[in-house]
């Protein structure tokens, strides 16, 4: 078994200004090249769900497209299951499936079935296997009802699910999912999350690089999360560790009844260090005082707080750089 | 399975996709058939003006209707040769589907061959219609070996497809304003002898302008096909245009593939694959 399904080393990407010298020669205004990624390095182990979070324009899409071989890096390298994304791009494309929220990537006048059939043939599947696979995917993603509907006539949520189905067509060992639940209703989103989790757990497992603005989703699904901002990885760790980076304390709210003989319920709040014994001791004290524990709520820092801190840090950094 | 083994399946994928898209606009199909019939009928009546007046030195033009129909049928093919790939790439860019096609494990030559396949099938049908309507409704006679004519047609089309690949490379980098399409589109109709003998260009416009026809592959292709279909010549008599076309192919094929590869790399570097 390979250790890393995706390995990214010192990856930088600067989008050049097209025809820069020609424009300069004709004294036309020349835009500065755009630096989208700077020195990004990380590994995703086989079977892991790896989250990539960051604000719009942070570099998530560029990173995903480089992994998918659609954009070439300026420096550094990406390898997918041991294949370099530039030198062995065709092999890399065999190993990955990309689902984006881009609706325009399908043929609107074809039905969802015809669309998938086209891409299945490009993946080299025979018609018999392709039909069977499409049937399986339609069942798995609850798309049977819209199999014969033109793509242009489908709801946004179904289009989104079809994009995921297309990414899974050739059973790739690596999936790149760009906001897979963005347009889904809450029930469909929950089922999609369940599907993502089950893919990572099956044998052989599917490695998933998940980019999302839904931080709760990333927190629930991902084994490790990278925070990307202005093209740089600011932090990379498990969601638990990332949360503890911003605040080591947790706010605890305990609802009790019967405390000191009172019949009314009361809410007691206190702050504790994550992982200490205080919660255990407090609960024991309350129970020995005759209280009945009705509810315990824990208010922890979320990935949102972490993201916010890094973005604020960035602003400060930029101000210093400008000075 | 290697790419070569999968090539037929992938070509079929594009053809099936384009056929489905084509039949989703049925009305357009019938209108095109009617327009071909209208053009053939119009040319028939124009040819009647020249009946018995054509200069005997232009042996391929004794029956102007036969020459025009061959010219139009073949021009149709040639135009597809050099415009089809650029058009498919541009269309995929505009639709936003190019990225999803390039995300599948197919190589560049496959994309090139496959994305034009349907256009060639469609053009074969409509080019055949010109000849068919001429024969059935207006009694146009064709002589010589159809097989040899098809060989010439395919060879010229492949040469023009190389120019089409250059055109597609241009579309990939500059997105619009393709000079190959403009020069070859207008140039082929004017200089290749589709509507009149190329010798007339020499006579009226002088050798400088007249020689332009010699650097266009379509001129040689058309000359060969007319020699076969109208004059009834065999292989031994059409070796000159055949060798000229093979020389064009030897130079243009590797060059155009190299340029296209560079264009895709540049678009990937600039991240502009789906821009148009």
Q: Is the pLDDT of residue B90 over 80?
A: no
Q: Model confidence over B51-88: pLDDT tens digits?
A: 777 777 777 787 888 889 988 888 887 788 777 877 88
Would you call A240 helix, strand, or coil by DSSP?
helix
Report CB contact under 8 Å: B104, A123. Answer: yes
**Residue from the list A62, A104, A124 with its beta carbon closest to the beta carbon of B6:** A124
Report CB contact under 8 Å: B10, A119. Answer: no
Report CB contact under 8 Å: B100, A117. Answer: no
B90 vs B115, more confident: B115
**Residue from the list B104, B271, B272 with its beta carbon closest to the beta carbon of A93:** B104
β pairing state of A49-53 and A224-229: parallel
Residue of B nearest to A72 (CA): B269
* Domain span(s) for CATH 3.30.1490 in chain A: 248-299
What is the DSSP-derived secondary structure letter of residue A225?
E
Q: What is the mean pLDDT of residues B227-255?
A: 90
What's the rounded Cα separation, in Å, for the pair A55 and A72? 22
A204 vs B112, more confident: A204
What residues in A contact B20, CB-CB < 8 Å?
109-110, 114
Q: Model confidence over A110-152: pLDDT tens digits?
A: 999 999 999 999 999 999 999 999 999 999 999 999 999 999 9
* B104 contact A CB<8A: yes
Are the CB atoms for B40 and B127 separated by under 8 Å?
no
What's the rounded Cα separation, in Å, for the pair A67 and A88? 12
What's the rounded Cα separation, in Å, for the pair B22 and B91? 14
* Count of H-run helices and E-run strands, chain A: 11, 13
Q: Model confidence over B156-205: pLDDT tens digits?
A: 888 888 888 888 888 777 766 666 666 766 677 788 888 888 888 888 88
Consecutive H or E run containing A164 = helix A156-168
CA of A48 vs chain B CAs: smallest distance (Å): 22
What's the rounded Cα separation, in Å, for the pair A206 and A96? 10
Give the model's pLDDT for residue A46: 94
Give the model's pLDDT for residue B177: 61
- A15, A11, A62: which is closest to A35 by C-alpha? A15
Give the model's pLDDT for residue B28: 85
Residues of chain A with confidence (pLDDT) below 70: 1-2, 18-19, 313-323
Report CB contact under 8 Å: B96, A93. Answer: no
Are the CB atoms for A114 and B17 separated by under 8 Å?
yes
Residue of A nearest to B15 (CA): A118
Report CB contact under 8 Å: B20, A65. Answer: no
Report CB contact under 8 Å: B105, A91. Answer: yes
What's the rounded Cα separation, in Å, for the pair B200 and A51? 71
Judge residue A11's burial from the number of C-beta atoms within 10 Å of its C-beta, 0-12 exposed, 13-18 middle, 19 or more buried: buried
* B262 contact A CB<8A: no
CA A231, A233, A234, A240 torsion-angle sign: positive
Count of pairs with CB atoms under 8 A, one residue in A, one in B? 88
**Residue from the list B13, B95, B271 with its beta carbon closest to the beta carbon of A122:** B13
* B265 contact A CB<8A: yes
Q: Is the pLDDT of residue B231 over 60?
A: yes
Are the CB atoms for B260 and B168 separated by under 8 Å?
yes
CA distances (Å), A271 to each of A50, A246, A248, A297, in order?
31, 15, 10, 12
What's the rounded Cα separation, in Å, for the pair A197 and A206? 9
**Residue from the list A93, A110, A118 with its beta carbon closest to the beta carbon of B105:** A93
Work out the pLDDT band at B92, boundaries 50, 70, 90: confident
What's the rounded Cα separation, in Å, for the pair B64 and B209? 24
Give the model's pLDDT for residue A322: 41
What's the rounded Cα separation, in Å, for the pair A169 and B16? 18
ipTM attached to this prediction: 0.77
Work out the pLDDT band at B274, boundaries 50, 70, 90: low
From chain A, which residues contact B within 8 Å (Cβ)?
15-16, 18, 36, 62, 65, 68-72, 74, 90-91, 93-94, 98, 102, 104-110, 114, 117-119, 121-124, 126, 166
Q: What is the mean pLDDT of residues B246-257?
A: 92
Q: A209 Cβ partners below 8 Å, 6+ apart?
A: A6, A44, A50, A52, A64, A67, A174, A175, A176, A177
* B28 contact A CB<8A: no
Domain A4-244 belongs in CATH node 3.40.50.300 = yes
Give the model's pLDDT for residue A117: 96
Q: Is the pLDDT of residue B254 over 60?
A: yes
- B172, B8, B118, B106: which is closest to A119 by C-alpha? B106
* Domain span(s) for CATH 3.40.50.300 in chain A: 4-244
Work out the pLDDT band at B210, boundaries 50, 70, 90: confident
CA of B206 vs chain A CAs: smallest distance (Å): 37
Residue of A nearest to B20 (CA): A110
Alpha helix stretches (DSSP H) within B175-238: 179-191, 199-210, 217-229
A99 phi/psi in degrees, rounded to 5? -120, 115
Task: State the CATH architecture for A248-299.
Answer: 2-Layer Sandwich (3.30)
Give the model's pLDDT for residue A317: 44
């Amino acid at each position: 078994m390979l250790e890393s399904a995706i390995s990214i080393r010192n990856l930088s990407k600067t989008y050049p200004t097209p025809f820069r010298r020609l424009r300069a020669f004709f004294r036309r205004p020349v835009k500065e090249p755009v630096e989208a990624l700077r020195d990004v390095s990380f590994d995703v182990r086989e079977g892991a769900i790896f989250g990539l979070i960051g604000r719009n324009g942070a570099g998530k899409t560029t990173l995903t497209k480089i992994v998918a071989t659609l954009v070439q890096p300026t420096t550094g390298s990406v390898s997918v299951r041991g294949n370099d994304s530039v030198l062995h791009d065709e092999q890399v494309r065999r190993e990955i499936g990309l689902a984006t929220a881009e609706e325009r990537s399908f043929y609107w006048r074809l039905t969802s079935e015809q669309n998938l059939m086209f891409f299945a043939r490009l993946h080299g599947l025979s018609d018999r296997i392709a039909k069977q696979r499409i049937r399986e995917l339609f069942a798995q993603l609850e798309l049977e009802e819209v199999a014969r509907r033109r793509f242009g006539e489908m709801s946004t949520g179904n289009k989104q699910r079809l994009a995921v189905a297309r990414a899974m067509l050739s059973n790739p060992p690596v999936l790149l999912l760009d906001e897979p639940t963005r347009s889904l209703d809450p029930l469909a989103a929950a089922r999609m999350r369940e599907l993502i989790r089950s893919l990572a757990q099956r044998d052989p497992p599917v490695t998933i690089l998940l980019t999302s603005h839904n931080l709760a989703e990333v927190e629930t699904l991902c084994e490790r999360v990278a925070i990307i901002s202005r093209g740089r990885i600011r932090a990379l760790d498990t969601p638990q560790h990332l949360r503890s980076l911003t605040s080591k304390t947790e706010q605890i709210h305990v609802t009790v009844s019967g405390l000191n003989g009172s019949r009314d319920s009361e809410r007691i709040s206190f702050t504790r260090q994550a992982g200490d014994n205080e919660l255990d001791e407090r609960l024991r004290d309350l129970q020995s005082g005759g209280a009945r524990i009705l509810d315990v709520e824990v208010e922890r820092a979320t990935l949102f707080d972490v993201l916010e801190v890094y973005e604020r840090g960035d602003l400060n950094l930029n101000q210093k750089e400008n000075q | 399975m290697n790419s070569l083994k999968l090539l037929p399946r992938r070509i079929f994928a594009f053809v099936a996709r384009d056929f489905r898209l084509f039949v989703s606009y049925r009305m357009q199909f019938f209108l095109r058939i009617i327009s071909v019939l209208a053009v053939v009928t119009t040319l028939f009546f124009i040819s009647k003006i020249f009946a018995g007046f054509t200069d005997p030195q232009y042996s391929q033009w004794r029956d102007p209707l036969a020459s025009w129909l061959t010219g139009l049928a073949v021009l149709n093919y040639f135009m597809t040769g050099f415009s089809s790939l650029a058009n498919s790439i541009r269309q995929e860019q505009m639709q936003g589907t190019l990225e999803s096609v390039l995300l599948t494990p197919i190589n560049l030559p496959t994309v090139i061959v496959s994305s034009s396949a349907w256009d060639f099938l469609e053009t074969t049908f409509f080019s055949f219609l010109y000849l068919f309507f001429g024969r059935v409704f207006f009694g146009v006679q064709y002589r010589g070996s159809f097989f040899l004519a098809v060989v010439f047609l395919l060879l010229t089309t492949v040469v023009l497809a190389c120019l089409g690949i250059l055109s597609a490379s241009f579309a990939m980098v500059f997105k619009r304003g393709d000079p190959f399409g403009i020069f070859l589109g207008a140039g082929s109709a004017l200089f290749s002898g589709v509507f009149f003998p190329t010798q007339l260009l020499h006579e009226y416009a002088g050798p400088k302008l007249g020689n332009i026809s010699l650097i266009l592959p379509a001129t040689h292709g058309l000359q060969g096909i007319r020699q076969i279909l109208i004059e009834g010549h065999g292989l031994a008599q059409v070796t000159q245009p055949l060798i000229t076309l093979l020389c064009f192919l030897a130079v243009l094929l590797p060059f155009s593939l190299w340029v296209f590869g560079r264009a895709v790399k540049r678009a990937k570097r600039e991240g502009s694959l789906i821009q148009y």
